[in-house]
């Protein structure tokens, strides 16, 4: 059946595809009957798939002044839209589904915004599974922001999202190819807008024109599947309208974000949705958008992947092992740290929104830290305005600025739990020197200090950044995390406010650096050459005044020529040119190779190829009274499957770790003896303590 477009009639045809007669259809028909638009300016074209549906529409037709025509088809879902367009007689057309709820002025406002060469759009409210309504989707917020305005599809991809509340010239709608007629409405409208190069006009009265979508499937998995169907359909448009691919990508992002919002608050539902998306192998699937929609937890990490920094890597590992979606606020570390794009593979599965603050990165400049704090809070508040308050906040320092943001957030949102982790003591460096960073006059400082004072915490007089950051975390955080017991003891004995020690003791926990699952060790292969037929030992680490491998070199010197020929020590460090001359001075230099650090994921894979991995303590016991450090490399080594040899300082955290072998620093003879045992053919090598359970590889 065909109809005339009636180009001289500035009216709208409402195409209603009906698969069955039910309460949802009755609701939509009642809303159509209540429209304020003159009945002479619109018609209803009902495409029906069975007799009961046809009878329901026929009965309703007898009660309204609106022209109603019925088109019978075998399958209303796959071909109904196309037949409805063919039967439309008004200049403009819109698509309505049973179960949609339309405000009385919906058609009137849409038609008032309609223009040739444009699509007019009204925002869409969605229903939760319990039937409640809300309208805080990203697509809806975008549309509301353009109320009464006109723009392009590239600028406003929400013009296709949801697929409801749109009106366009009938001839334009008829241009959709037959094989797209049954596609989800999101993809159908995306094609109409992109192929027709239509402008996007948003209605003036967004509240009056809002349409509430049908309830849809009853279960979350079914609703996830519907969004994934829409994403797959939009992806199929890439080849049909290649110039519109950037806009189509953003439509897909909105749909992925809608999936995240749907499973929001349920880690199990998020994992199921993620698995469902992966099973479809959708090209360029925006996993970050799905995660951002689901994220209820915030991570504050001044340094974060893909920047190359030990603190950035450890936070990324925490996030990866956590296994739940998070948003991250971080600093742009350009100019301070190198970039390793592959490092993002650590967190792509779980990180949603990345809120990156610009400006110069700074270790101790209060002016720059304050700027970071303001920028971070501004972006966090903008995000929460769209998605609601976070359920928890976690920050981690070596970079002190992370805890400044965490503290200010906690002051302003005391109901949200804040977890503050210290990787190392902040007040003192490894050489025992006090770190200094003056805090100048600052509203942020005063606001946080006032909150501390309200809790009975004495005011900070020294205005030293590093002392102050320890204080505010001890005073305000709901939980304080240390990486080892020595670190906790050291920091509490030197607490800037001794009165806070009982509070921190009660609220703190020990959480060693996490070990990644085995799959991360195979993400990026290394072609670094290891000598076959020799015992290969790997050492990855930074050298400074209290950490080195001089004892190991001396032990190598003590071996016979024949023994040294059977062992190679591979050193990877940040300043290899400084280390090579030190090694060259030793008789054992031929048995040592020195090179630069390799990218983190390559390092993980390379670590699996060594016979032994060497980890060394910093020698700080005499300086600090207790060694508060636990090398982060140890946790990486644990996942490699290689044997671990610890060179420890007595009483350190490393000295108590379960490893395959241990030797005391300062005793090169004992280390030489251990090396000799490395070269013995016994299958258990020199395992003098039970090996740690590193999991199957």
Asked if 251 and 157 touch (Cβ cutoff 8 Å), the reply is yes
324 SS3 class: coil
Q: Per residue in 525-536, pLDDT tens?
A: 999 999 888 999
* Mean pLDDT confidence for 384-412: 95
Examine the pLDDT at 4 and tell me if it is beyond 60: no
Instruction: State phi, psi for 518 to the nearest 5 degrees.
Output: -60, -30
Quick one: residue 249, left, alpha or beta (phi over 0 = left, psi -120 to 50 = alpha)? alpha
* Mean pLDDT confidence for 615-625: 90
List the domains of the chain with CATH numbers: 12-216 (3.90.550.10), 232-292 (no CATH), 295-510 (3.40.50.2000), 521-678 (3.40.50.2000)
Examine the pLDDT at 2 and tell me if it is beyond 70: no
Q: Which pLDDT does position 263 carry in this prediction?
A: 85
- % the chain with pLDDT above 70: 93
C-alpha angle 387-393-396 in degrees, rounded to nearest 5: 140
The secondary structure of residue 497, as a DSSP letter, is S
Q: Per residue in 331-375, pLDDT tens?
A: 999 999 999 999 999 999 999 999 999 999 999 999 999 999 999
Give the pLDDT band of residue 139 (cuts 50, 70, 90).
Answer: confident
* Mean pLDDT confidence for 13-37: 90
| Chain Cα centroid distance, residue 639 | 24
List of E strands, 180-279: 199-202, 211-212
Buried b (16+ CB within 10 A) or exposed e, 383-411: beeebeebeebbbbbbbbbbbbbbbbbbb
Examine the pLDDT at 3 and tell me if it is beyond 60: no
In angstroms, the CA 369 to CA 642 distance is 41
Examine the pLDDT at 630 and tell me if it is beyond 50: yes
Q: Which two tokens stand for residue 2?
A: 């065909």
* Mean pLDDT confidence for 141-147: 88
Q: Which pLDDT does position 158 carry in this prediction?
A: 93
Examine the pLDDT at 687 and tell me if it is beyond 80: no
Instruction: State phi, psi for 672 to the nearest 5 degrees.
Output: -60, -40
309 SS3 class: coil
Q: Which two tokens stand for residue 263?
A: 């499973």
Asked if 418 and 477 touch (Cβ cutoff 8 Å), the reply is yes
75 SS3 class: coil
C-alpha angle 633-637-639 in degrees, rounded to nearest 5: 130
In angstroms, the CA 583 to CA 281 distance is 50
Buried b (16+ CB within 10 A) or exposed e, 432-471: eeebebebeebebbeebbebbeeeebeebeeebbbbbbbb
Q: Per residue in 79-133, pLDDT tens?
A: 788 899 999 999 999 999 888 889 899 999 999 999 999 999 998 876 544 443 4
- % the chain with pLDDT above 90: 74
Q: Which pLDDT does position 548 carry in this prediction?
A: 80
Give the pLDDT band of residue 9 (cuts 50, 70, 90).
Answer: low
Q: Which pLDDT does position 243 carry in this prediction?
A: 96
Residues pairing with 16 in the sheet: 46, 96
Q: Which two tokens stand for residue 505?
A: 């003791």
In angstroms, the CA 608 to CA 522 distance is 9
Examine the pLDDT at 684 and tell me if it is beyond 70: no
Lowest mean pLDDT segment, chosen from 218-227, 379-388, 397-406: 218-227
Q: Which pLDDT does position 216 carry in this prediction?
A: 67
Examine the pLDDT at 691 and tell me if it is beyond 80: no
């Amino acid at each position: 059946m065909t109809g005339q477009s009636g180009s001289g009639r500035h009216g709208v045809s409402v195409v209603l595809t009906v698969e069955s007669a039910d309460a949802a259809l009755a609701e939509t028909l009642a809303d159509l009957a209540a429209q304020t638009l003159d009945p002479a300016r619109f018609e209803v074209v009902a495409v029906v798939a069975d007799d009961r549906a046809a009878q329901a529409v026929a009965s309703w037709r007898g009660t309204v002044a609106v022209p109603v025509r019925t088109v019978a088809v075998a399958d209303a879902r796959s071909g109904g839209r196309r037949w409805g367009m063919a039967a439309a007689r008004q200049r403009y057309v819109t698509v309505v589904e049973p179960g949609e709820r339309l405000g009385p002025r919906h058609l009137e406002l849409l038609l008032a915004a309609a223009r040739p060469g444009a699509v007019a759009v009204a925002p869409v409210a969605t229903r939760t599974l319990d039937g409640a309504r809300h309208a805080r989707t990203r697509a809806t917020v975008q549309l509301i922001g353009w109320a009464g305005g006109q723009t392009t599809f590239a600028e406003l991809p929400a013009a296709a999202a949801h697929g409801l509340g749109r009106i366009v010239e009938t001839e334009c709608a008829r241009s959709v190819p037959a094989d797209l007629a049954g596609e989800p409405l999101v993809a159908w409208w995306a094609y109409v807008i992109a192929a027709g190069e239509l402008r996007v006009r948003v209605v003036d009265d967004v509240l009056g024109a809002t349409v509430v979508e049908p309830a849809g499937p009853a279960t979350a998995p079914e609703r996830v599947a519907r969004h994934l169907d829409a994403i797959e359909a939009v992806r199929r448009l890439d080849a049909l309208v290649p110039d519109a691919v950037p806009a189509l990508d953003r439509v897909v992002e909105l749909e992925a974000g809608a999936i995240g919002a749907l499973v929001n608050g349920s880690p199990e539902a998020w994992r199921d949705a993620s698995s469902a998306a992966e099973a479809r192998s959708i090209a360029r699937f925006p996993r970050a958008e799905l995660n951002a929609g689901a994220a209820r937890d915030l991570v504050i990490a001044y340094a974060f992947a893909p920047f190359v920094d030990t603190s950035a890597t450890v936070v990324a590992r925490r996030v990866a092992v956590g296994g739940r979606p998070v948003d991250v606020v971080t600093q742009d570390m350009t100019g301070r740290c190198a970039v390793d794009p592959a490092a993002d593979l650590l967190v792509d599965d779980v990180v949603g929104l990345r809120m990156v603050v610009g400006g110069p990165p700074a270790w101790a400049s209060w002016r720059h830290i304050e700027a970071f704090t303001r920028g971070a809070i501004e972006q966090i508040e903008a995000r929460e305005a769209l998605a609601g308050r976070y359920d928890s906040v976690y920050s981690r320092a070596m970079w002190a600025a992370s805890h400044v943001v965490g503290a200010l957030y906690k002051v302003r949102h005391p109901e949200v739990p804040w977890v503050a982790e210290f990787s190392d003591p902040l007040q003192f460096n490894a050489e025992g020197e006090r770190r200094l960073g003056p805090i100048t006059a600052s509203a942020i400082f005063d606001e946080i200090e006032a909150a501390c004072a309200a809790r009975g915490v004495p005011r900070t007089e020294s205005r030293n950044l590093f002392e102050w950051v320890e204080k505010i975390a001890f005073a305000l955080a709901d939980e304080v995390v240390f990486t080892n017991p020595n670190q906790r003891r050291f920091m509490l004995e030197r607490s800037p406010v001794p009165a806070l020690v009982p509070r921190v003791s009660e609220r703190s926990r020990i959480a060693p650096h996490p070990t990644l699952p085995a799959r991360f060790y195979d993400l990026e292969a290394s072609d670094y050459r290891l000598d076959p037929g020799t015992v290969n030992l790997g050492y990855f680490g930074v050298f400074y005044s209290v950490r080195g491998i001089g004892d190991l070199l001396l032990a190598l010197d003590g071996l016979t020529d024949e023994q040294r020929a059977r062992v190679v020590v591979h050193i990877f460090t940040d300043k290899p040119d400084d280390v090579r001359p030190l090694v060259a001075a030793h008789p054992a230099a031929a048995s040592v190779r020195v090179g630069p650090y390799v990218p983190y994921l390559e390092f993980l894979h390379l670590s699996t190829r060594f016979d032994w991995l060497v980890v060394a303590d910093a020698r700080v016991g005499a300086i600090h009274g207790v060694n508060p450090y636990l090398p982060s490399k140890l946790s990486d080594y644990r996942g490699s499957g290689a044997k671990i040899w610890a060179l420890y300082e007595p009483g350190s955290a490393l000295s108590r770790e379960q490893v395959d072998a241990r030797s005391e620093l300062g005793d090169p003879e004992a280390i030489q003896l251990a090396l000799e045992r490395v070269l013995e053919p016994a299958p258990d090598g020199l395992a003098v303590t039970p090996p740690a359970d590193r999991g199957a590889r």
